[in-house]
């Protein structure tokens, strides 16, 4: 992995955005830190604020409150080092594939690696002379990704990148992205509402719901910090632990908890899968959020506390 000037690719502090002076908040009080070199999944239901968060990081809109630091600087100054693919993959329909890549070269002087972009296009067997308007949705996604990767970004922001790709192309493009991340240490942030799509490739999670960050941290640490327990409903006492979700069926109590201390031996416990974890939090909007604790901030600046209470040991950025 290449050395980096800042330990964090993204750092948000009380970030908020609303559209219009009296509009609803698309994102509110959002604080998290994403260490550089991670592949981060931004997960959440539709309309949760994922796209807003990525657009703020890309410098396409300005925050209504708080700030976001991208690669150690403001989003506008980081522009040349950040790749961004919007959800609807906008491209110029009147250009050909080759002309689109030439546009990438012209608009990214000193940052453009034509071989990377060409390789992505070639893998999709796209003719350089075909017009963008004649391409299918998946082919356009490929060209949009080629344009973003050709820039050789340090941070790649992808909004629902795989939504309209067939499974084969999805697998192949995900492989390209992971190779990019491994070879150049690129930080990748990709949003999706399909958790299974991200489980294998991502090592960091940002769960956004209702315009707030619900979970943030390394996926391993997050799943380790939680336990799926089942016990007898009559004897089990969950007090002392943070309960995300609990359900009683007959005499059986099943719950997803954040244990605070050792659990009784008679309880059956298991580590939740990422999907179980995400679904449990999304089903229970009142469950306490888990975001990285303050002492992990290596830059030395003390930031305002994020949403909810944060457990001190989890999510500490490595």
Partner 1 sequence: MTALTDERAVTAPSAAPRAWGTARTVLRLHRTALLLWVAVVAGLSGWLVWLTLVTAPAERAAIDCAGEDFCDSTVPGLGFGTPVGWIGMLVAYAFLAVAAFAGGALIGREVESGTARLAWTQSVTPARWLAAKLAVPALVIAGGMTVLVLVFRWSWHSDPHLVFEEWSGAAPFLARGPATVAYALCALAVGALTALLLRRALPALGVSPAVMGLLNLALTRLRPSLWPQVHRTSATVVVTPEHAWVLDEGALVHGRPRTGVPYWNCGGAPAAARRCLDDLGVTGYYASYHPQSHFWPLHLVETAVVLAVAALATAAAFAVVRHRTR
If one asks whether residue 83 binds partner 1 (CB under 8 A), the answer comes out as: yes
Contact pattern from residue 130 through residue 169 relative to partner 1, giving x for each residue in contact according to CB under 8 A and a dash for the rest? --------------x--x---x------------------
Please check whether residue 202 is in contact with residue 43, taking contact to mean a CB–CB distance below 8 angstroms: no
3-state secondary structure 12-43: EEEEEEECCCCCCEEEEEEEEEEECCCEEEEE
If one asks whether residue 67 binds partner 1 (CB under 8 A), the answer comes out as: no
Backbone phi and psi for residue 279, each to the nearest 5 degrees, phi listed first: -65, -40
**25-35: strand order across its sheet:** 25-35, 8-18, 65-70
Name residues contacting partner 1, limited to 224-283 (CB under 8 A).
Answer: none
User: Helix, strand or coil for residue 154?
Assistant: coil
User: Helix, strand or coil for residue 269?
Assistant: strand
Q: Of 160, 127, 143, whose CA–CA distance to 92 is shortest?
A: 143
Backbone phi and psi for residue 213, each to the nearest 5 degrees, phi listed first: -85, 120
Q: What whole-number distance in Å separates Cα of residue 223 and Cα of residue 39?
A: 17
Binding window for partner 1 (CB under 8 A); candidates: 2-10, 12-20, 81-89, 219-227: 81-89
If one asks whether residue 189 binds partner 1 (CB under 8 A), the answer comes out as: no
If one asks whether residue 13 binds partner 1 (CB under 8 A), the answer comes out as: no
Minimum CB distance to partner 1 smaller for 82 or for 287: 82
Please check whether residue 30 is in contact with residue 212, taking contact to mean a CB–CB distance below 8 angstroms: yes
Minimum CB distance to partner 1 smaller for 84 or for 281: 84
Binding window for partner 1 (CB under 8 A); candidates: 21-29, 99-107, 218-226, 265-273: 99-107
Backbone phi and psi for residue 263, each to the nearest 5 degrees, phi listed first: -95, 150
The encoded tokens of residue 200 equal: 């294998």
Considering only 51, 64, 108, 291, the residue that binds partner 1 (CB under 8 A) is 108
Q: Where are the beta strands (DSSP E) in the chain?
A: 8-18, 25-35, 39-43, 65-70, 82-85, 155-159, 187-192, 204-209, 212-218, 227-232, 242-249, 252-258, 268-270
Backbone phi and psi for residue 135, each to the nearest 5 degrees, phi listed first: -90, 155
Binding window for partner 1 (CB under 8 A); candidates: 16-24, 114-122, 133-141, 249-257: 114-122
Q: What whole-number distance in Å separates Cα of residue 301 and Cα of residue 115?
A: 40
CB of 91 to partner 1, least distance (A): 7
Minimum CB distance to partner 1 smaller for 3 or for 115: 115
CB of 78 to partner 1, least distance (A): 11
CB of 14 to partner 1, least distance (A): 18
Considering only 105, 169, 178, 288, the residue that binds partner 1 (CB under 8 A) is 105
If one asks whether residue 107 binds partner 1 (CB under 8 A), the answer comes out as: yes
Binding window for partner 1 (CB under 8 A); candidates: 87-95, 185-193, 209-217, 235-243: 87-95
If one asks whether residue 92 binds partner 1 (CB under 8 A), the answer comes out as: yes
If one asks whether residue 20 binds partner 1 (CB under 8 A), the answer comes out as: no
If one asks whether residue 217 binds partner 1 (CB under 8 A), the answer comes out as: no
Considering only 14, 98, 238, 288, the residue that binds partner 1 (CB under 8 A) is 98
Where along the sequence are the contacts to partner 1 (CB under 8 A)? 55, 58-62, 74-76, 79-80, 82-84, 86, 88, 90-92, 94-95, 98-99, 101-115, 118, 121, 128-129, 144, 147, 151
């Amino acid at each position: 992995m290449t050395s980096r000037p800042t330990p964090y690719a993204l750092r948000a502090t009380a970030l908020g955005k609303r559209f219009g002076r009296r509009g609803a908040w698309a994102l509110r009080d959002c604080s998290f830190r994403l260490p550089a070199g991670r592949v981060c999944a931004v997960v959440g239901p539709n309309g949760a604020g994922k796209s807003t968060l990525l657009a703020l990081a890309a410098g396409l809109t300005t925050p209504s409150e708080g700030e976001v630091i991208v690669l150690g600087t403001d989003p506008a100054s980081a522009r040349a080092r950040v790749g961004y693919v919007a959800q609807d993959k906008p491209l110029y329909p009147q250009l050909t594939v080759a002309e689109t890549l030439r546009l990438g070269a012209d608009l990214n002087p000193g940052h453009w690696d034509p071989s990377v972009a060409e390789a992505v296009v070639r893998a999709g067997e796209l003719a350089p002379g075909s017009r963008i308007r004649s391409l299918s949705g998946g082919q356009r996604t490929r060209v949009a990704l080629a344009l973003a990767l050709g820039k050789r970004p340090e941070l790649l922001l992808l909004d629902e990148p795989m939504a309209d790709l067939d499974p084969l192309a999805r697998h192949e493009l995900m492989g390209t992205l992971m190779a990019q991340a491994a070879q150049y240490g690129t930080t990748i942030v990709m949003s999706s509402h399909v958790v299974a799509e991200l489980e294998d490739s991502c090592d960091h999670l940002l769960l956004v719901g209702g315009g707030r960050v619900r979970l943030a941290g390394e996926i391993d640490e997050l799943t380790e910090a939680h336990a799926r327990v089942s016990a007898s409903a009559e004897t089990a006492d969950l007090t002392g632990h943070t309960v995300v979700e609990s359900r009683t069926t007959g005499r059986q109590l099943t719950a997803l908890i954040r244990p605070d201390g050792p659990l009784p031996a008679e309880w059956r416990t298991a580590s939740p899968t990422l999907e179980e974890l995400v679904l449990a939090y999304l089903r229970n909007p009142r469950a306490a959020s888990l975001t990285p604790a303050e002492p992990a901030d290596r830059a030395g600046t003390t930031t305002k506390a994020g949403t909810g209470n944060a457990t001190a040991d989890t999510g500490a950025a490595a």
